[in-house]
């Protein structure tokens, strides 16, 4: 047995125990995060379970999950740290009333202290007393300037606060970055990360996921749901349903007490909202519905 | 005993040296294939091997892929290169878990329709008589397809109107903010700093306002034979756009891609002609759009195109290569650019909703698909560009 096989198998089992079915390549990447101490950049279509990787990692390590949701215009004040201005103003005015002498340096030292520092997700992860999982979600939505900001955090696991100094991570967090590849990320950021691409799962893998996440689902229904979704993915839809949609749809069908889709084809129509997220896709599938949908469910 | 130990060490060292040598060769191969492998990646690869991944080929593949791939494209190509280099036979189960299933993402290849560029009857031609009368009148000229405007005077007037269109474009506001002394959103952080000097009293306020930057354009011009009648106008449009917008770059392509210039230099028509003559071997030859775009994506795309860039392609879409070869390149361009606009002057000749086998597979990767066959269409393009 190779030296790494055991930790990988353990990791896979741990992920499975909390309902996350990970492909072997992903397990390797997660294992290498520990071996190399590097962040993991996960790319893939929306709904394939990228964010779930970080959540699952936090669950198996029983570590706090610190999440930074990225968006255009995200800056240091929302990602790293900020100062509590209102309290700072109050403190300055109180200090001014109490003392006649205005020692600006002392005042500045008092005001720009840890007491008035508001930690944002990146700094919170660096300063976390316990090793945390830092999820930087949809990093492609942020702009290039923010990527530059991330470089120091991801390569050295430290954050510089000009007024206070540099904070270095007590425990290096597990960092997971996710991207829908809406925008290309910079080479500098990519080079600092391990990389993993998550694709839509095959039918067998998706069936395992559905059964792991919804243990009460009947084998017949799970099989039909997965077959239907797999066939939908072959169509030219505007928004291809991901695993999240499969699980939502399965849960919806279970909520309607559907056991067998071939017996209640109308259930497909009434629950399509869980799968299809655009009007065009809905119309396309509804048009096709009458032909192959139910008759092919058994395939 | 000692001899045995030293012998084992020697074997281990030899084994290690061989592995490192092979690994180094593999990374060199990846670099030759434009992978983003730097020294840090190499060190990571060595550490992956040291961590025991070397003992199982599947594990080695997964481990090296995680640390040597940095993009989806690299991820897709890695397995083939790995197998090729390590001279092993791949097994189905390895591929099933490793290779992204992208087959369903690409539209099926369609037999290309051999549509000739002739002056076939179209709605434009039916209106031709009333369109081209009265040179110099914008309303009249604006509907005339550029291919029918051969008069030098008319051409000059059109060029001037193109100049005016380009000048209408103004700065874009961005969500990122910058410090301002007088206007914008209150900046408590800076105001607070200033208040220190006045014992906490906010006497002087600081503000932040959105950054305004000129839009960045990357223009790709098809200068092949099929675009001959439109190329001059589009080149003029491009030149004017580049003189107005510092962060713009232009490239032309026919059977190969070549640069026309950057926006921060004042380019004259002679500069353009010089570039065309220097690279213009294929000026009247065929068009290799997929090859040209691939060259752009591999060599220039990362530097030239980012999420603030509007990419404008002037082309009729006629390609000597298969549409399926162009799709991955368009996918890359769409991912990198803020918007991808394809200006197809032939679009003005087609009826609305008419199928176009060469362009239809590309439409999912375009934000805007429009015609630029007359001034009205170019005016519309101008509005799209400043949006």
Distance from CA of B335 to the nearest CA of A (A): 5
Q: Which residue in chain B has the smallest CA separation from A84?
A: B189
What the block records as the tokens of B271 is: 């500069």
Q: Which residues of A touch B306 (CB under 8 A)?
A: 144, 183-184
List phi, psi (to 5°) of B369. -125, 110
Put simply, the answer to whether B102 touches A107 (Cβ < 8 Å) is no
Q: What is the DSSP string of chain A?
A: --TTHHHHHHHHHHHHHTT----HHHHHHHHHHHHH---EEEEE-TTSSHHHHHHHHHHHHT--EEEEE--TT--HHHHTEEE-HHHHHHHHHHHHHH-SS--HHHHHHHHSSGGGEEE-HHHHHHH-SS--EEEEETGGGS-HHHHHHHHHHHHH-EEEETTTEEEE-SSPPEEEEEE-SSSPPPHHHHHTSEEEEE-PPPHHHHHHHHHHH-TTS-HHHHHHHHHHHHHHHHS--SS---HHHHHHHHHHHHHTT-S-TTT-THHHHHHGGGT--SHHHHHHHHHHIIIIITTTTT-
Q: Which of B64, B192, B201, B327 to mutate to test the interface with A (most CBs of A within 10 A)?
A: B192
Model pLDDT for residues B225-274, shown as the tens digit of each residue: 778 778 777 877 787 777 777 778 888 888 888 888 777 665 666 666 66
What CA–CA distance (Å, rounded) separates B103 from B112?
Answer: 20
Model pLDDT for residues B24-70, shown as the tens digit of each residue: 888 988 888 888 888 888 888 888 888 888 878 888 888 999 999 98
What the block records as the tokens of B262 is: 């950057």
* pLDDT cut 90: percent of chain B above it: 4
Judged against a pLDDT cut of 90, whether residue B318 lies above it is answered with: no
Report pLDDT for B335: 84
Distance from CA of B343 to the nearest CA of A (A): 22
Report pLDDT for A39: 94
ipTM for the assembly: 0.76
What CA–CA distance (Å, rounded) separates B181 from A153?
Answer: 31
Residue that the structure tokens 């990419």 belong to? B311
Please report, in angstroms and rounded to a whole number, the separation of the first and last CA atoms in chain B. 79
Q: Which residues of A touch B104 (CB under 8 A)?
A: 233-234
How many CB atoms sit inside 10 A of residue B221's CB?
23
Put simply, the answer to whether A32 touches B335 (Cβ < 8 Å) is no
According to CATH, the topology of domain A5-72+130-146+173-198 is Rossmann fold (3.40.50)
Radius of gyration of chain A (CA): 24
Q: Which residue in chain B has the smallest CA separation from A4?
A: B52
Smallest Cβ–Cβ distance between B66 and the set A107, A191, A196 belongs to A196
Confirm if B373 and B230 have CB atoms less than 8 A apart: yes
Distance from CA of B194 to the nearest CA of A (A): 11
Q: Which residue has the higher pLDDT, B336 or A289?
A: B336
Distance from CA of A274 to the nearest CA of B (A): 21
* pLDDT cut 90: percent of chain A above it: 34
Judged against a pLDDT cut of 90, whether residue A135 lies above it is answered with: yes
Distance from CA of A116 to the nearest CA of B (A): 12
Q: Please enumerate in sequence order all residues whose Cβ is within 8 A of that of A296, keeping only pairs 6 or more positions apart, or say none.
A: A227, A231
Put simply, the answer to whether B51 touches A3 (Cβ < 8 Å) is yes
Smallest Cβ–Cβ distance between A72 and the set B63, B107, B175 belongs to B175
Report pLDDT for A122: 94
Report pLDDT for B276: 66
Chain mean pLDDT for chain A: 85
Report pLDDT for A56: 94
Put simply, the answer to whether B102 touches A3 (Cβ < 8 Å) is no
Confidence of residue B283 (pLDDT cuts 50, 70, 90): low
The CATH H-level superfamily of B123-171+214-386 is: von Willebrand factor, type A domain (3.40.50.410)
Put simply, the answer to whether A190 touches B36 (Cβ < 8 Å) is yes
- Closest alpha carbon to A45 in A199, A250, A252: A199
Confirm if A47 and A245 have CB atoms less than 8 A apart: yes
What CA–CA distance (Å, rounded) separates B381 from A7?
Answer: 58
What the block records as the tokens of B209 is: 């306002």
Distance of CA A290 to the CA centre of its chain: 37
With b meaning 16 or more CB within 10 Å and e meaning fewer, what string describes A37-59? ebbbbbbbbbbbbbbbbbbbbbb
Judged against a pLDDT cut of 50, whether residue B129 lies above it is answered with: no
Q: Which residues of A touch B175 (CB under 8 A)?
A: 72-73
Distance from CA of A178 to the nearest CA of B (A): 13
What CA–CA distance (Å, rounded) separates A214 from B378?
Answer: 55
Report pLDDT for B111: 31
Q: Which residues of B touch A82 (CB under 8 A)?
A: 189
Confidence of residue A69 (pLDDT cuts 50, 70, 90): very high
Judged against a pLDDT cut of 80, whether residue B353 lies above it is answered with: no
- Rounded mean pLDDT of A40-55? 91
Chain B, residues 183-222, CB within 8 A of chain A, namely 188-189, 191-192, 195-197, 199-202
Q: Which residue in chain A has the smallest CA separation from B53?
A: A4
Report pLDDT for B56: 82
Q: Which residue has the higher pLDDT, A51 or B256?
A: A51
Put simply, the answer to whether A24 touches B62 (Cβ < 8 Å) is yes
Report pLDDT for A123: 93
Model pLDDT for residues A235-293, shown as the tens digit of each residue: 878 788 999 899 999 999 998 888 888 877 788 888 888 888 888 888 888 877 666 44
Residue that the structure tokens 């998706």 belong to? A206
Model pLDDT for residues B165-197, shown as the tens digit of each residue: 666 655 555 666 778 777 778 888 788 777 777
Q: Is the dihedral of CA A128, A130, A131, A135 positive or negative?
A: negative
Confirm if B196 and A107 have CB atoms less than 8 A apart: yes
Q: Which residues of A touch B69 (CB under 8 A)?
A: 195, 197
A68 to A71, A139, A244: CA distances (angstroms): 10, 9, 20
Q: Which of B30, B62, B64, B218 to mutate to test the interface with A (most CBs of A within 10 A)?
A: B62
List phi, psi (to 5°) of B174. -120, 160
Q: Report the range of poorest mean pLDDT among A9-23, A89-103, B66-80.
A: A89-103
Chain B, residues 346-365, CB within 8 A of chain A, namely none
The whole model's pTM is what?
0.64
Smallest Cβ–Cβ distance between B335 and the set A89, A183, A202 belongs to A183
Smallest Cβ–Cβ distance between B70 and the set A73, A83, A191 belongs to A191
- Closest alpha carbon to B221 in B269, B254, B185: B254
What CA–CA distance (Å, rounded) separates B18 from B12?
Answer: 10
Report pLDDT for B107: 38
Smallest Cβ–Cβ distance between B196 and the set A24, A40, A107 belongs to A107
Domain extents for chain B?
2-100, 123-171+214-386, 174-212
- Rounded mean pLDDT of A49-69? 94
B107 touches chain A (CB under 8 A): yes
């Amino acid at each position: 047995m190779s030296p790494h096989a055991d930790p990988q198998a353990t990791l896979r089992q741990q992920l499975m125990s909390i309902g996350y079915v990970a492909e072997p390549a992903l397990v390797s990447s997660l294992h290498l995060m520990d071996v190399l101490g590097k962040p993991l950049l996960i790319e893939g279509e929306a709904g394939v379970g990228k964010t779930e990787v970080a959540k699952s990692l936090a669950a198996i390590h029983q570590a706090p999950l610190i999440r930074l949701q990225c968006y255009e215009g995200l800056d240091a004040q929302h990602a790293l740290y900020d100062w509590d201005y209102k309290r700072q103003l109050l403190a300055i005015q109180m200090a001014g009333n109490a003392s006649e002498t205005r020692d600006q340096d002392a005042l500045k030292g008092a005001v720009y202290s840890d007491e008035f520092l508001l930690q944002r997700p990146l700094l919170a992860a660096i300063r976390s007393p316990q090793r945390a999982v830092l999820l930087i979600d949809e990093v492609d939505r942020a702009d290039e300037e923010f990527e530059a900001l991330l470089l120091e955090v991801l390569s050295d696991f430290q954050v510089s606060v000009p007024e206070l100094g540099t904070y270095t991570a007590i425990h290096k967090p597990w960092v997971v970055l996710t991207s829908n590849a809406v925008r290309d990320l910079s080479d500098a950021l990519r080079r600092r990360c391990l990389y993993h691409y998550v694709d839509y799962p095959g039918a067998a893998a998706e069936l395992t996921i559905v059964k792991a996440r919804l243990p009460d689902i009947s084998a017949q229904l799970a099989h039909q749901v997965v077959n239907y979704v797999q066939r939908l993915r072959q169509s030219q839809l505007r928004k291809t349903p991901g695993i999240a949609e499969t699980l939502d749809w399965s849960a919806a069908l279970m909520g309607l007490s559907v056991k067998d889709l071939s017996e209640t084809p109308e259930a497909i129509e009434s629950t399509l909202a869980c799968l299809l997220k655009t009007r065009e896709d809905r119309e396309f599938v509804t048009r096709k519905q009458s032909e192959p949908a139910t008759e092919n469910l058994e395939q | 005993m000692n001899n045995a130990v030293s012998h084992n060490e020697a074997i281990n060292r030899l084994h290690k040296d061989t592995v490192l040598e092979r690994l180094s060769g593999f990374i060199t191969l990846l670099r030759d294939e434009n992978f983003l492998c730097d020294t840090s990646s190499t060190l990571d690869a060595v550490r992956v091997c040291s961590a025991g991944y070397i003992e199982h080929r599947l594990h080695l593949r997964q481990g090296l892929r995680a640390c040597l791939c940095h993009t989806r494209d690299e991820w897709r190509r890695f397995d083939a290169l790995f197998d090729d280099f390590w001279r092993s036979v791949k097994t189905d189960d390895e591929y099933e878990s490793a290779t992204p299933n992208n087959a369903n993402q690409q539209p099926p290849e369609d037999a290309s329709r051999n549509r000739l560029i002739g002056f076939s009857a179209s709605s434009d031609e039916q209106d031709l008589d009333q369109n081209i009368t009265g040179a110099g009148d914008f309303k009249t000229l604006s509907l005339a397809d550029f291919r029918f405007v051969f008069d030098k005077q008319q051409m000059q007037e059109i060029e001037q109107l193109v100049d005016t269109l380009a000048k209408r474009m103004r700065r874009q506001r961005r969500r990122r903010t910058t410090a301002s002394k007088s206007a914008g959103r209150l900046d408590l952080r800076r105001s607070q700093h200033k208040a220190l000097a006045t014992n906490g009293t906010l006497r002087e306020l600081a503000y932040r306002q959105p950054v305004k930057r000129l839009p960045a354009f990357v223009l790709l011009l098809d200068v092949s034979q099929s675009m001959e009648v439109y190329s001059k106008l589009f080149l003029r449009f491009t030149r004017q756009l580049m003189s107005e917008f510092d962060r713009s770059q232009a490239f032309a392509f026919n059977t190969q891609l070549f640069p026309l210039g950057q926006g921060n230099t004042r380019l004259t028509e002679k500069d353009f002609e010089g570039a065309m003559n220097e690279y213009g071997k294929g000026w009247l030859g065929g068009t290799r759009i997929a090859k040209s775009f691939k060259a752009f994506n591999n060599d220039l795309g990362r530097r030239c195109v980012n999420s603030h860039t509007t990419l404008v392609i002037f082309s009729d879409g006629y390609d000597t290569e298969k549409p399926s070869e162009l799709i991955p390149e368009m996918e890359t361009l769409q991912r990198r650019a803020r918007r991808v606009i394809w200006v197809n002057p032939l679009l003005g000749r087609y009826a609305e909703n008419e199928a176009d086998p060469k362009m239809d597979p590309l439409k999912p990767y375009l934000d805007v698909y429009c015609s630029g066959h007359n001034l009205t269409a170019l005016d519309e393009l101008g509005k799209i560009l400043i949006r």
